[in-house]
Amino acid sequence: MNFHLKVWRQKNSQSEGKIVDYEARNIPEECSFLEMLDIVNEDLLSKGEDPIAFDHDCREGICGSCSLTIDGIPHGPSETTTCQLYMRKFKEGDTIYIEPFRAGAFPLLRDLSVNRAAFDRIQQAGGFVTAHVGAAQDGNSILVPKTQADRAMEAAACIGCGACAAACPNASAMLFVGAKVTHLASLPQGQPERDRRVLAMVRKMDEEGFGNCSNYLECEAVCPAEIPALVIGHLNSDYTAALVKESL
């Protein structure tokens, strides 16, 4: 398969970026999108040109570091991460636009690579649970109703890739923060720090420069872990309750 690529190239955050045209030739349809970029980079290196910089790690759809915007959609036209997007999703001769995640809180490093450390700092603000949960064999020592366990597991599926913020017109991180807050707030082990956690994470989210949620639901549409927007409602509810308690 052959494709025409329009790739965002930018040496660093201070330099001016631009779209550069490349040809991707003889690409097997079973290639993943990142493998296709590897082939293009090999061709560039053989010509003595700088390869296209992009983030990746596990290439198994687990870590979420493959943060690319493809044809205007974070992670591209699929319900997966970029590394699990295969070239058979495209047609022979397609023109494909490839850009980095666009969000003010994700500063660009080079080409298609952005710094998503803001998500790490939000999680760090939330801290750890102090409840003693023991080792793996102690998993059933604290009983959790199935409905609460299901809600916690659903929220815990968030991989923190940042697609939600990149897709949101406001660059909001509410889906991500909502997932992290809902995960622990649904479990008895997360109750001691529940109020402190939600206040700290929301305030850190605002400090990092993420926007507010306007219920566009673009975040839910692009989330590779299929986190439901309901977690935003849970976040708002917990945050409001914690604010009231804090003011008393």
80-113 pLDDT per residue, tens: 999 999 999 999 999 999 999 999 999 999 999 9
pTM for the structure as a whole: 0.93
**Whole-number average pLDDT of the chain:** 95
pLDDT at 185 over 90: yes
H/E segment holding residue 233: helix 230-247
For the stretch 8-38, pLDDT in tens is 999 998 999 999 999 999 999 999 999 999 9
141 pLDDT band, cuts 50/70/90, is: confident
pLDDT at 3 over 90: yes
B/e letters for 195-207, b = 16+ CB within 10 Å, e = fewer, are: bebbbbbbebbee
- Strand segments (E) across the chain: 3-9, 18-24, 68-70, 73-74, 95-100, 108-110, 113-114
What structural domains does the chain harbor?
3-110 (3.10.20.30), 117-247 (1.10.1060.10)
pLDDT at 140 over 90: no
- pLDDT of 142 reads 85
